[in-house]
Amino acid sequence: MRDYQVSQRRACVLIGVDPKTVRRERPPDHGAIREAMREIAGRRRRFGYRRIGVMLERKGMSINHKKLCRLYREEGLSVRRRRGRKRARGSRTPVPEALRPGDRWSMDFVADTFGASRKFRILAINDDCCRENLCLVADTSISGARVARELDVLVRLHGKPACIVSDNGTEFTSRAILQWASKNKVEWHGKPQQNGFIESFNGSLRDELLNEELFDSLADARRKLAIWRYDYNHVRPTHRWEIERLHKRVGRS
């Protein structure tokens, strides 16, 4: 190659050498970022490269999102996407828009097990405007009266919502809930297709916590739910605007 000015491929063909024995692998680039990505992915196994990019930005590591995606794939951190359950079909009716916190709350139940396959339920209530989770109540049985008591606690803490969205479960159509809604003059929407925000939250809860953890007891489940709820509200990059802001900023670099 030096004496006759030929390419590496041509020189290997002339002397009968496999190019793979000649070429040397280049050391991986961005070693510090790769190590930080592996550390974050080890603690948050269901995070994709976009959310990992937000966490890296908080550490002062800014990188173009295309290069971040390449490094993410080269490190073998790609997350296998889980299929969601089928949504209920029906006619679409308008619901009040959540323009300010407290305009609309949404609520639903999630089920899981602890110990020797003993089932428990989780009542999740969210504010649809700021996507904040207001409570995660876990118990072996949650009746409509218990839901009404939890709503009274949230009203004292956050104020009364303008409306609440839920499905048509027996707890949400019970006499206790009907009396609570009438007493507090809160509009209630009970069609499943209007409950998309809380369904999305339930998917994140199951994907990032319930499918990743084993619960020894109900107390253990409540403790882990409280830790995850704080992380969801204050640490986890949840909001799309934060991810889009990162992409716009690093896209110019």
Residue 92 has pLDDT above 50, yes or no: no
* pLDDT at residue 94, rounded to an integer: 60
**What sign does the CA torsion over 86, 92, 96, 99 have?**
positive
Cα distance between residue 73 and residue 245, in whole Å: 22
Residue 80 banded pLDDT, cuts 50, 70, 90 = confident
Average the pLDDT over each of 42-46, 57-61, 125-129, 194-198 and give the range with the smallest value: 194-198
107 exposure class (CB count in 10 Å sphere: 0-12, 13-18, 19+): buried
Residue 235 banded pLDDT, cuts 50, 70, 90 = confident
Residue 153 banded pLDDT, cuts 50, 70, 90 = very high
Mean pLDDT of the chain: 84
173-201 pLDDT, tens digit per residue, is: 888 998 999 899 998 887 655 677 888 89
* pLDDT at residue 42, rounded to an integer: 87
The torsion angles phi and psi of 98, rounded to 5 degrees, stand at -95, 85
pTM of the predicted structure, to 2 decimals? 0.70
Cα distance between residue 218 and residue 140, in whole Å: 8
Please tell me which residue, 40 or 88, carries the higher pLDDT value.
40
DSSP 207: I
Counting residues of the chain whose pLDDT is more than 90, the rounded percentage is 40
